[in-house]
Amino acid sequence: MWFFACSSEQNHVQGVDSLAKSKKASSVVTYRRPSLGKVLWQNKTLILMCLPAIVFFFVFSYMPMPGAYIAFTNFQYNKGIFDSPFVGLRNFQFLFQSGQLTLLLRNTVLYNLAFIILGNVLQLFFAIMLNEVQAKTYKKVSQSVMFLPYFISDVLVALLVYNLLNYDYGFISHLVRSLGGEMPKVYQNANAWPFIIVLVNLWKSTGYGTVVYFAAITGMDSSMMEAAQIDGANAWQRIRYITLPTLKPTVIILFLFAIGGILKGNFGLFYNLVGNNSMLFKTTDIIETYVYRSMMNSFNFSQSSAVGLFQSVVGFFIVLGANAFVKHLDPDYALF
């Protein structure tokens, strides 16, 4: 995502550049729109840089798309996706008949909102702080340390959390008891988990997002800062009036990307932290874990694909809606 943000900015710069060139030429000939081939040729370096991403999305996102048809079939292994019998919308019934849809949607959306909002605020905050730090080594080291949790697998994270919080032998339980307190049974208390899960997620993702924003800040035109400094703006004013407005497009793009997945939960995180502990489901069950629990015995590809398709289609319309809203506010910031 960050890659796109950068490259589109560069594109913009190059566009201005070529416009200037063509202006020079236009003193002799009238301006003609360059052919597609010419545009491609002119931007060959940029296109080459984009190629890996284009190939990636083509292979992993566009090529499998026709396979979504599986959601409308009674899938037979020996017949393949397209020759299996068509059953219409029958596979979509399952989620709606479960009687759990409201709870699942509520949990999924609320968690994602918490992740997106708190996550972005924290990431911005740390990115700006990093930018203000002058000591180079300190900056590099702290950046790396913050980034690290991003690479720890959810399985390990769950194990860490269990070893901290479990009632009988957990580290925190020991600590609380040695201080004479009474440790609550965290793994039997559903109300504690929204906090734990959000906290763990923030711990894992803040470093990554911080680097993204930090990169955007580094890419800012430093002359503005210098000018502001000369005019006597203090640090707070510089952040408020220069850094934050400059970051606005990046924030909006990242937000629009994130909101498309608002119905999709992070299965690895939730399933590993909560597992099949049904005492916690009230506040921790998301669409993915519910589907997993229901399907793990029957192994029904069609039905699970139907749920996935439902999430994607709804996500698609939410993105469209959010984009239209952004466009309405300020057309410059819209994705398309």
Residues in touch with another protein (CB under 8 A): 74-79, 90, 93-94, 97-100, 159, 162, 166-169, 185, 187-188, 274-279, 281, 290, 293-301, 303
For another protein, which is the closer residue by CB, 122 or 295? Answer: 295
Q: Specify which residues 73 forms β-bridges with.
A: 86
Nearer to another protein, 252 or 287 (CB): 287
The full length of the chain comes to 336
CB 259, min distance to another protein, A = 28
The distance of closest approach from Cβ of residue 149 to another protein in the complex, given in angstroms and rounded to an integer, is: 21
**Nearer residue to another protein within complex by CB, 45 or 98:** 98
Smallest gap, in angstroms, from Cβ of residue 206 to another protein? 25
Residue 285 or 322 having the CB closest to another protein = 285
Quick one: 249 or 268, whose CB is closer to another protein? 268
Whole-number minimum distance, CB 262 to another protein, in Å?
Answer: 23
How near is the Cβ of 299 to another protein at its closest, in Å?
A: 4
Count the neighbouring beta carbons within 10 Å of the beta carbon of residue 37. 8
